[in-house]
Structure 1
Amino acid sequence: MGHEFEIRTEAELPASPDQVWQAIATGPGIDSWFMGRTEVEPGEGGAVRTVFGGYAPEQPVTAWEPERRLAYGSVPAPDGRFAAYEFLIEGRAGGSTVLRMVTSGFLPGDDWADEYEAMTRGTALFFHTLVACLTHFPGRTAVPVTVFGPPVTNWARTWAAVRQGLGLEDSVTEGDRVRFSPDGGAPVKGVVYFANEDTLGVRTTDALYRFLKGFRGPLIAAHHYFSTVDTQEAERAWLAWLERHDGREQRT
C-alpha cells in the first residue's frame, strides 16, 4: 500500500542567513550535523552526494536560492520510494534566522509504519544537531566520525548499557549532565541536547556526540568534532566503546 509523508520542523537560530546557508548547502557544513561525508555540487541541476556505511545516495538539487531556499531529493525508485528535503531561510532583525525544514516522500509496502517512525525520530535528531551546531559552533565546521557497532539483539539492554556508559539515569531529558571516557581517551564532560526513543545527542565544548538506533541494524555512533582529530583512532576507540556497551552480559 505505501504511505506518503511530510515532516516539518522549525527553529529560530542565533546565526546569520549566510551561516545557515553554509551549514545546509556545503559539504563541510552538512558534515557537521548529518552522517558520513557529503559533497555538494552547487546550483539547480547540481547534486548532494553522501556516503556512510554502504549507503551512497546522489540527490539532484531542485531549488538553489542562496540564503533563501534549498531543495534536493532522491529520484523515485521503481516501487515509488523517494525522499526530498527543503530548507527555507528567513532572516530576522537583530541577526537571528528562522530555518524551516520539510522532509517528504513515499515509503512503499504494507510495513511502512515502522520505517516512518524510525525516520521521524532520526530526522528529529538531525535537525536538533543542526540547531546545536549553529547555536554553539556558528561559522565553524566539524570532522565527522561514523561507526557501526555490532548487531543488536535486545535494544532495551543496549540502550540501558549506553546510558550507563554515559553516566545517565534510565530517564533521559535535555540538559542532563554526561560524563564518559572513549576507549583510550581522557574523560569527557557534556550535556544532553536531544533524546528520544531511538536517538541520543550529547554536546561538549568541542564536539557533538550522537547515538542512533539503526533501522533493522546496529547501534550507530555518529559524532562531529569541532577540533583536530585522528579519525582512524577515533573510529577505533568508538568501535571498542560500542562493543563494550552492546547490552550483552558483562565480560571480564
Structure 2
Amino acid sequence: MGHHFELRKDVELAATPEQVWEAIATGPGIDSWFMGRTEVEPGEGGRTRLTMAGHVEESTITAWEPGKRLADRTEPAPDGTFMAMEYLIEGRDQGSTTLRLVQSGVLGDDWETEYEAMGIGWDMYLGTLAAYLAHFPGRTATPVSAFRPGVGGADRVWPVVAEALGVAGPLAEGQRVRCTVAGLPPIEGVVDLAGLPTYVGVRTGDALYRFLHSGADRGDALVLGHHVFAPGQDPARAERAWQDWLAALPVG
C-alpha cells in the first residue's frame, strides 16, 4: 500500500529571483547543482526529463510563473506511486531570495527509508544550489557522475575518501583539499559541505565536487555528482577518470 508524504525545505540564496529561476527552471541551470542531466520544455504542460545512470524520469510542468513559482509532477506508476515538486521564489532585500521547496506524492512500501534519504539528499542539493549561485553566478556547469556499489559502509568509506582528498582526520567544513585524479588537472579546494555520514562537498575555483554515500539499504554505494564550471570539458573523459578513481579506492 502506498504512503502519502510531504517534505518541505527552505533555503536563503545570495541571488536575485531571476537568477534563482534560471537555476531551477532551465536544463543548464539544473545541471549546475542537481543530480544527473536535465532537459526542460518551458511552459505549463511542458515536460522535464532527468537522466541518471541510464534511467530517465519524466514529469509534466503543472505551474510556470517565471521568477515566482514552478511545479511539476510525474505520472502515477502501476502501484500508484508518484512524485510532485513545487518551488516558490520570494525576493528579499539586497538582492537575496528565499526558495521554498515542497515535495509530495506517494511512496512505496519502503517509504520511511526513502523519505529519510530524500530529506538528507535535499540538504546536500540545496547547499550545492546556494554554493552555485554564490560562487558561480552567470555560469553553467558540466555535470560529471560516477558510481561504486558495495563500498563497505559509511564508517569504512569516509576515512578512505578523506585520505584520497588529502585530509588528515575526519572531514569537516573549512578543511583544505588536495587531490589528484589521473588524466585530470589537480584539485585544490575547501570542504564546503559536511553532512556525514551521508555526504561531503568540495568547492574549488572552477568546480563543485559532491560525494554521497547511499546508505546500507540503498546499495551501500559511493556516488559522485560533480559540477565543473571550467570551459572545454569532455564529460565522457572526466567520468571515466572519476570512475577509475572510485575503482581504485581500497574499500568494499
Aligned-residue offset at 1:217? 5.3
Tell me the amino acid that sits aligned with residue 184 of structure 1.
Answer: G
Q: 1:170 to 1:101 in 2, by over 3 A?
A: farther
Indicate yes or no: 2:48 matched with 1:39.
no
Is contact 2:81-2:106 (8 Å) kept?
yes
Name the residue aligned to 2:98. Answer: 98
Secondary structure of the corresponding residue to residue 67 of structure 1: coil
Distance 2:164 2:155 in 1: 14
Aligned-residue offset at 1:185? 3.1
Name the residue aligned to 1:182. Answer: 181
Aligned-residue offset at 1:114? 1.9
User: For residues 77-115 of structure 1, what are the alpha-carbon distances to aligned partners after superposition, in whole Å with 9 as ceiling and x for unaligned?
Assistant: 222222221111111232221111122222111x32222
Is contact 1:150-1:242 (8 Å) kept?
no
Distance 2:29 2:250 in 1: 31
Tell me the amino acid that sits aligned with residue 156 of structure 2.
Answer: R
Distance 1:60 1:169 in 2: 46
Which consecutive unaligned segments of at least 5 residues does structure 2 have? none
1:109-188 matches, cutoff 5 A: 109=109, 111-188=110-187
User: For residues 37-89 of structure 1, what are the alpha-carbon distances to aligned partners after superposition, in whole Å with 9 as ceiling and x for unaligned?
Assistant: 11101111111111111320001111100000001121222222222211111
Tell me the amino acid that sits aligned with residue 48 of structure 1.
Answer: T
Name the residue aligned to 2:249. Answer: 245
Distance 1:106 1:76 in 2: 9
Name the residue aligned to 1:218. Answer: 221
TM-score for the superposition, normalised by structure 1: 0.91
Distance 2:24 2:58 in 1: 16
Name the residue aligned to 2:73. Answer: 73
Tell me the amino acid that sits aligned with residue 173 of structure 1.
Answer: A
User: For residues 155-209 of structure 1, what are the alpha-carbon distances to aligned partners after superposition, in whole Å with 9 as ceiling and x for unaligned?
Assistant: 4222221122112355333222222111233431111222222211111111000
Secondary structure of the corresponding residue to residue 55 of structure 2: coil
Query: Superposition RMSD on alpha carbons, in Å?
Result: 1.8
Is contact 1:150-1:246 (8 Å) kept?
no
Secondary structure of the corresponding residue to residue 155 of structure 2: helix
Which consecutive unaligned segments of at least 5 residues does structure 1 have? none
Distance 2:100 2:188 in 1: 31
Secondary structure of the corresponding residue to residue 222 of structure 1: strand
